[in-house]
Structure formats: structure tokens, C-alpha cells
Amino acid sequence: MALAGGEPANIENLGRSEDVEATLSGIAEITGAGGRGGAVDYGESGIAEITGAGGRGGSVDCGESGSTLRFLIPIAAMHGGDWVFTGRGRLLERPQSVYEKIFSDCGAVFEHDRNRIRVRGPLPAGLYEMPGDVSSQFVSGLLLASPLMDGECRIALSSPLESAGYAALTVDVMRAFGVSVETVFGADGKTAGWRAPSGARYREAPYGVEGDWSQAAFFLCAGALGADVAVSGLSAKSAQDDRRVTEILEGMGVELRSADGVFSARPDPGGLRGTRIDARDIPDIVPPLAALACFAEGTTHFVGAGRLRLKESDRLAALAGELSKLGADIVETPDGLRVRGKPKLRGGDVSARGDHRIAMALAVASLGCEGPVRLEGAESVGKSYPCFWTDWECNGER
């Protein structure tokens, strides 16, 4: 919306978490106070010269938001001048090699140390090759910046795409604001890249944010443990890969019901059963599913989850360590977790390790504990879901 010259107030259902606030603040800094947007001038060189309403260059505090950082880096580069990105926690330790190579290959500036990332563009139109087995945030960031380039932008994947749903969401949102991106498919029928046309421009338009399957998964897993809870505002046809939580829950023996966008989960009288979960496309719902697996008969194997080690915490280590404190039989593997279920856990003292999704996963696990669960760092949910504990209490849970 900001790149189209609009205001975030015109977006319906926009949740205001710490990550969202960081993105709103950052895009306002880049495009000008209040998100007024800037002027694009291709000039004689054919290179886009974009003047933000707030001037050229500046500093963007991304907090702990990886999406803010990776979405805004290429956009800032297209606005000219020097831009410095800062953050907290483990943010600047997270991999940035995709952008390092892209900027280096086209002669732009990308400097990265433990305290900041400095960039200076612009990025030219043309072909960009990147691996598909990294965060889709790099794909989304380059796609979002592509209409600011001086011609057609093509993105080619050098390896199979993971978290494809997030890239599809980016394409859908761009289309809603007037930019039609073509998805290129390989011989195997899978996504091999994208083509953003020359001359495309964002246009202001009304937009409503659909419900978040990543957050809904925590409450659906709570329902699978007997909590009386329903989640509204979800689309079964969403491009979000995390909607797969419903099929995974059904595979574990959970009864799912849906009507008019309201979803609920109920435990099956036969009990939960272990399964194998490939997490390559659904890393964000591993935490609630790992908590649920602690109570499933047999063994649940999580595979393809190695990228969880690079989040706000090492989530594989955090899940194994904190759920073990509650009495769970859970161990790390190189790229996942192995969980042997038990009828009940004992409860105890645990830590969110500064990670919002670990905090919410431990809340889910508390439903199957015989004793109380005391959680240090409960406030970390503010990163993505500030009203989580209010919603949790509204459903009568501890």
C-alpha cells in the first residue's frame, strides 16, 4: 500500500504486532513519513531514481523481524542513497547470503556485520538466480521491489522451492495492487521462477488481510487436546502452506470441523497417534505440532526442519529442551525432532527463550500437564500475536 502511495489504515484486518509495527515504520522511513510514497524518475540512464518523501537514505530498525529486514532491503536499495538496517536479538545473525550475492553480482553495495547491514542500490532489471531451499522472504523481497526496476525482472530458482505458499501469497498481494507477476513452472510442474513485467506500477486499492493459519494452528492443537475453542476468519483455499495443519491433525486422529470459515478441532475417542511430518514448507507450525505430539501414541518424526535453528531461537533445541522439562520424551535430530508420546506430562518451570512461537507452544503443552506450568518470557508473544494470552484466557485455558 505504501509503494502505491496509500495509507496502512486502508487495509482491513491488519494485526498490529511488533513485527508489523517494524514493517510499517520501516516502509514509512523509506518512502516518506506517513507512507506517502516517492517519485520515480528513470532519466537518461534508464536506471530508476526514486526519491522518497523523506529524502534519500536513512536508518531502519527492524526489531527482531526477519520479514521486515528481507522485504525492505531491496526496496530501500531502489530508493537511492545509503540505508542502514539494524535489529535486536539474533536477527542480524540470520543468513543473508542470498542478498549478499545478488548485490555483489550487480555492483550494488551490501555490507553486513554483527551490528548492522548497509545497502546502496539500485538493483537493475534482468535475471536474478537464487536457491529455493532458503527463506522465501528473499524471493518476496525481490518480487516486491521488482516494479521499481527499469525493466523486466526475472527470478530463476537453482534448487526446488521451499515454503512455496509464502511466495504465492506475495504474488497474490502484488496482483491486488495492480502488478501481475507470472509464475514460471519447470518440466516437473513445480515453481521454477517468476517474471515481473516491465512498466508495472503499484496502484492503491482496498485490501483485507485473511486469517493467519500459522497462529490458528496453536488453537487448533489446543482443541485437539480437549480445549473448547473455535477459530474464525480462515480460508480453506488460502495460499498459506500452514493450512496443512488440518490434514496433519486429521492424520494424527483429530476430528476437524469447519463451517463458514470457522474451524474447530476435537480429540478422537481413539486418542492421538504419532506420524511423520515433513516441515520444509511449514516451519512455523512445528512448535504447536511438537507440543501436541508429546501426547500422541507412538512416535512422531519431524523432518526437513533444519531452518528452525535460525529463528528467534534455535527452535529445535528450544522445543526439545523446554518440553523435556515438562516430562516429554523428545530429542533433536540434525534436521528435526523425534517425539515419543505419553498420556500426560508432569508440568514445571520453562522458558520461552525469547521466542514467541516457543511461548505459545508451551501454552499448548500445558493442557496435557498434571501440574502447573510456569513460563518465563511470556511477553515474547508480542512479536507476532500481542493478544495471545487474552485470547487464550477467553477460552478458559491456563
CA atoms in the 13 A half-sphere facing the CB of 157: 22
In DSSP terms, 262 is beta-bridged to 259
CA distance 342 to 1: 48
Q: What is the DSSP annotation of 168-201?
A: HHHHHHHHHTT--PEEEE-TTSSEEEEEEPTT--
CA distance 82 to 229: 49
Could you tell me which of 212, 231, 210 has the C-alpha nearest to residue 220? Answer: 231
Asked if residues 25 and 219 have their Cβ atoms less than 8 Å apart, the reply is no
φ, ψ at 235 (rounded to 5°): -115, 125
CA distance 140 to 175: 13
Could you tell me which of 229, 239, 222, 110 has the C-alpha nearest to residue 168? Answer: 239
CA distance 50 to 245: 42
State whether residue 215 is helix, strand or coil: helix
The catalytic residues are 284
Asked if residues 351 and 317 have their Cβ atoms less than 8 Å apart, the reply is no
- DSSP conformational letter for 398: -
Joined together, the cell numbers standing for residue 115 give: 551490528
Which of left, alpha, beta for 274 (phi over 0: left; psi -120 to 50: alpha)?
Answer: beta
Helix H segments across the chain? Answer: 18-31, 66-77, 97-105, 136-145, 164-176, 213-224, 245-251, 286-293, 315-325, 356-366, 388-394
Joined together, the cell numbers standing for residue 152 give: 523486466
